[in-house]
Amino acid sequence: MENYLIAMCVTAGVYALMALGMNIIWGMAGLINLGLVGFFAVGAYTSALLTVKLGFPIVVGVIAGGITAALVGVVVSLVTARLRGDYLAIVTLGFAETIRVFATNEIWLTNGSDGISGIPGPFRGDLTPVQFNSLYLAIMVAVVTIAFVLVERLSYSPFGRVLRAIRDDEQVAAVAGKQVLLYKVQAFALGSVALGVAGALYAHYTSYIAPDIFVPLLTLYIKLALLAGGVGNSKGAVLGAVVVVFFLESTRFIVPLIPYISPVQGAALRELIVSVSLLVILRFRARGLLPEARSHLVVPAALPAPARG
């Protein structure tokens, strides 16, 4: 049980890191990204391949995962820079799906849907499971803390203020001489680093990744974390991630209590509960049960519908 709780906390750390990344991209810069699971997958696969196939150290893999995700983020943001929000939703979702299709099909590289197993974890062979989980949790806490401090600094730096200015009114920011595109790309890249590192850390923790892990539902979990965290800052993101993981895990215990259902039905029921909860929270939370200062909105729920001229 103790081990299980530690494992949950590690997962919460992964989600917190993703939520922090999403906070930069979406919350601070206002760039819609429904494909963050794609960047997470890029980080996970990069690190897994470098360590498993080429024998690089884990640290190198994780850093490379972050960098690769950032590069992909630069490309995606450059291609989509001029798109309207509703198109961005389609493109970013499509991007994540395409990454998954690629991972499923390039069997020579990724083992296809069988996935990559035996991804090394730090001292995994030398430690008991509880010790390993505890060590990993310590690493996770350290990484999340560093990311947290960096994001907080970023948020109050001139860079963060410009990002918010762009988010709130692109034209004003453009007139004020800020190079809007450059800022957007940088924000996207920085957020993607967090997503990529989260993916890499996830891979080294579980030792196994496969395309099935990187589904849109995971993107929704992070969205849920940001909503549940409520207050539009990094603290909310981290707190929300913890809440979401505990919620997700609790559904694991509810479902077996229901008699006469098969494992597939149980799994379906779990996803059903999760998605319905998301809808309920999105509906009643996005409107702002806890109103927050405009300059701190994590998720631009008040984003205007496409202009009708």
The site for another protein (CB under 8 A) is made up of 32, 34, 79-80, 82-83, 85-87, 89-91, 93-95, 97-98, 101-102, 104-105, 216-217, 219-220, 223, 262, 264-265, 267-269, 271-272, 274-276, 278-279, 282-283, 286-287, 300-309
Cβ at position 260, least distance to another protein in Å: 12
C-alpha distances in Å from residue 71, one per residue of 28, 112, 203: 20, 23, 19
Angle between helices 129-156 and 234-254 (to 10 degrees): 140
In the complex with another protein, the residue whose CB is nearer, 169 or 271, is 271
Output 119 or 226, the one with its CB closest to another protein. 226
Of 102, 86, 84, nearest to 41 by C-alpha is 102
Task: Report d(CA 132, CA 32) in Å as an integer.
Answer: 37
Q: Which of 44, 12, 197, 211 is nearest to 119 (CA)?
A: 44
Minimum Å distance from CB 297 to another protein?
Answer: 12
| Residue 276 C-alpha from the chain's centroid | 20
CB nearer another protein, residue 171 or residue 283: 283
**Residue 1 beta carbon to another protein: minimum distance, rounded to whole angstroms:** 29
Closest separation in Å from C-beta 25 to another protein: 13
Q: Which is closer to another protein, CB of 128 or CB of 262?
A: 262
> 122 or 216: whose CB is closer to another protein?
216
Nearer to another protein, 259 or 309 (CB): 309
Query: Contacts by 186-189 with C-beta closer than 8 Å and gap 24+?
Result: 186/159, 187/24, 187/25, 187/28, 187/29, 187/31, 187/163, 188/25, 188/29, 188/31, 188/33, 188/73, 188/74, 188/76, 188/77, 189/70, 189/71, 189/73, 189/74, 189/77
> At closest approach, how far in Å is the CB of 274 from another protein?
8
**290 or 308: CB nearest another protein:** 308
H helix intervals, the chain: 2-22, 36-52, 58-80, 85-105, 107-110, 129-156, 158-168, 170-175, 180-206, 216-229, 234-254, 263-285
Minimum distance, C-beta of residue 146 to another protein, in the bound complex (Å)? 29
H or E element at residue 121: none
Shortest CB 84 distance to another protein, Å: 8
Q: By C-beta, is 6 or 297 nearer to another protein?
A: 297
Q: Which residue has the tokens 């190079």?
A: 179
CA 292 to each of CA 231, 246, 297, 303: distance values in angstroms, whole numbers, following the listed order: 7, 25, 7, 15
Amino acid identity for residue 67 in this structure: I
Q: Whole-number minimum distance, CB 163 to another protein, in Å?
A: 18
